[in-house]
Amino acid sequence: MRPLSRPTRLLAAALAAAAVPVIALTGGQAAQAAPVAQAAQVTHDAQTIQFTHVAQITASAVTAAPEIPDSPAGRQLRWFLGAPDRAPLSGSELAGHVEAAFLAELTVEKFNAFLADVRGLTLEKLTEVTPTALTGTGRIGKEEVTLQLRVNAQGKIDRLGVGAPQPPIPAAPKSWAELDARLRKAAPEVGFLAAEIDSRGRCRTVHGLAAGKARPLGSIFKLYVLGAVAEKIRDGKLSWDTELTIRPEWKSPSEGGLFERPDNSTVTVREAAELMISISDNTATDMLIHTAGRKAVEAKVRQWSDHPKGNIPFLTTKESFLLKGVDYPKHARAYLARDAQGRRAYLENVVAGLKLTDIKVWTAPRETHTLEWFGSPKDVCRAFSGLAKLYSEPLHGALSASDIGIGLDPAKWPVVWAKGGSELGVFDLAYAARTAAGRTYVVVPLANDRRKPLDEAKVAPELISLSRGAFALLARG
């Protein structure tokens, strides 16, 4: 999670806090993969570095000249490639190609602005192909770009992005020793866990590096929020279909998502949960914290973490922004000087009265080890295990909406859950994946530098590579 800074070409964040700038449109429900087999088994604000459709279909690589397939995604891609030269398009034409909820969120005006911005786009090749999702490369003038498109069950576009080429993912490590050596070079402070979740839901460490040490989690903390919401639903106190009002005082800066929707419009718990996980929507997150209750989220932290103290009281994203961004360091210091009860009072009596418009964006790591959400790689594994015990299709849909670029073979790894977290000086990834044989593994690399921002164009591909290698090593046994 980081202060809002909108790139020129970004309309709405499909790649939440990505390592590369992107023109991105996103919306709708993600395709769902196979469920986690057993209750005790499990299957990015950080960073959907790469758009990947999670399905039971193996994406095929295409390296020849682009022959667009006659598929739902292919037909929409043909339409999209011809659309910029005809923009602005009528609302009725867009409605024939774009999912209704997605178009309502973006508006016809913004979609046409997006089309104007990508005028001159040409497709050079397709790199990943499934019936409902396509990824390829092309150019806008002399600029090389990556194009990503996905359609829903009705064949209408619900995710679309055009952006700078993604940095290449390095070769995966072949041993734990190589993984450790490379991870230590990625950032000054690192933690790592590769573990198996057994039939009783326990995390059994296979390999670790400072795996029990708490570090800043970035938006991985949203796993605790999802857990609190899922528990309320399990206990009959809430429903995935419950409609929530987007109250203006609950809005928190983030690219796209609910922050840009009209005040007092509504959204279901299901959609808010998916937005919170898939694009790390901060407004969706805060709405769910308020809905489940701060103390309910804190209860999940106490249940799933050995390091609850640094997370009590459990901050909303808006409170974090305000503490770090308004009259810094005045409010940050005043808050940190108090005990837990005093901090609650400060949030209620002081921070609640601060304004987002008074935030001054910062450009270096700020209070990442004092004003953050904290946990160790082992804590994150316990969170994944706990979420598996609260399994439902909507929960699975949220956690599998993006694989954050890891690209595991779906024939070998039919279920992949992922969440990332980042802010200046922090870049973290967390994966849980189930093998075709039903074994569940978790891989969590955490990287941070409290002195200067991490170079995410280098750190992100490296951590993805290390995570891929860890899953391969785990599968070997």
Is residue 148 predicted with pLDDT exceeding 70? yes
Residue 359, token pair as written in the block: 């935030």
Peptide bond into 377 cis (omega under 30): no
Share of the chain above pLDDT 70, in %: 86
Please tell me the predicted confidence (pLDDT) of residue 50: 29
Task: Please provide the average confidence, as pLDDT, over all residues in the chain.
Answer: 87
- For 372-423, the pLDDT digits (tens) are 999 999 999 999 999 999 999 999 999 998 899 899 999 999 999 999 999 9
Share of the chain above pLDDT 90, in %: 76
Is residue 240 predicted with pLDDT exceeding 80? yes
Contact criterion met (CB below 8 Å) for 37 and 434: yes
Q: Which residue has the higher pLDDT, 299 or 106?
A: 299
Please tell me the predicted confidence (pLDDT) of residue 355: 97
- The pLDDT-based confidence of 9 (bands split at 50, 70, 90) is very low
Please tell me the predicted confidence (pLDDT) of residue 66: 76
Q: Residues 127, 129, 133, CA angle at the centre, nearest 5°?
A: 115
The DSSP string of 408-419 is: --TTT--EEEEE
Q: Which of 3-7, 41-45, 192-196 has the highest mean pLDDT?
A: 192-196
- The pLDDT-based confidence of 101 (bands split at 50, 70, 90) is confident
Please tell me the predicted confidence (pLDDT) of residue 52: 28
Closest of 184, 187, 143 to residue 163, by C-alpha: 143
Please tell me the predicted confidence (pLDDT) of residue 256: 64
Residue 255, φ and ψ in degrees, nearest 5:
-75, 125
Kindly report which listed range (62-71, 158-167, 235-244) carries the lowest average pLDDT score: 62-71
In whole angstroms, give the CA distance from residue 477 to residue 225: 33
Is residue 362 predicted with pLDDT exceeding 50? yes
Is residue 22 predicted with pLDDT exceeding 80? no
In whole angstroms, give the CA distance from residue 216 to residue 265: 33
Closest of 320, 351, 292 to residue 216, by C-alpha: 320
In whole angstroms, give the CA distance from residue 474 to residue 477: 5
Taking residues 225-232, report their average pLDDT.
Answer: 98
Burial class (CB in 10 A: 0-12, 13-18, 19+), 46: buried
Please tell me the predicted confidence (pLDDT) of residue 23: 41
Q: Residues 161, 167, 172, CA angle at the centre, nearest 5°?
A: 120
Is residue 206 predicted with pLDDT exceeding 60? yes
Please tell me the predicted confidence (pLDDT) of residue 1: 62
Please tell me the predicted confidence (pLDDT) of residue 36: 28
Q: Helix (H, G, I), strand (E, B), or coil: what is residue 147?
A: strand
List the beta bridge partners of residue 73: none
In whole angstroms, give the CA distance from residue 403 to residue 430: 10
Taking residues 121-146, report their average pLDDT.
Answer: 89
Residue 382, φ and ψ in degrees, nearest 5:
-65, -35
Widest distance between CA atoms in the chain = 64
Contact criterion met (CB below 8 Å) for 225 and 382: no
- For 300-332, the pLDDT digits (tens) are 999 999 999 999 999 999 999 999 999 999 999
Instruction: Give 71's DSSP letter.
Output: S
Instruction: Give 97's DSSP letter.
Output: T
Please tell me the predicted confidence (pLDDT) of residue 159: 86
In whole angstroms, give the CA distance from residue 359 to residue 320: 11
Is residue 248 predicted with pLDDT exceeding 70? yes
Please tell me the predicted confidence (pLDDT) of residue 468: 98
The DSSP string of 199-248 is: TTS-EEEEEEESTTS-EE-GGGGHHHHHHHHHHHHHTTS--TT-EEE--G
Q: Which residue has the higher pLDDT, 30 or 304?
A: 304
Neighbours of 342 (CB within 10 A): 12
Is residue 16 predicted with pLDDT exceeding 70? no
pTM: 0.77
Is residue 436 predicted with pLDDT exceeding 90? yes
In whole angstroms, give the CA distance from residue 317 to residue 258: 14
Taken in order of first residue, the domains within the chain and their CATH numbers are 22-28+58-163 (3.10.450.280), 176-314+373-476 (3.40.710.10)
Taking residues 412-435, report their average pLDDT.
Answer: 97
Residue 196, token pair as written in the block: 């198996």
What Cα–Cα distance (Å) separates residue 38 from each residue in 200, 392, 441, 464? 10, 12, 13, 27
Please tell me the predicted confidence (pLDDT) of residue 128: 80
- The pLDDT-based confidence of 116 (bands split at 50, 70, 90) is very high
Residue 451, token pair as written in the block: 């002195």
Contact criterion met (CB below 8 Å) for 320 and 311: no
**Distinct helix (H) and strand (E) counts, the chain:** 15, 14
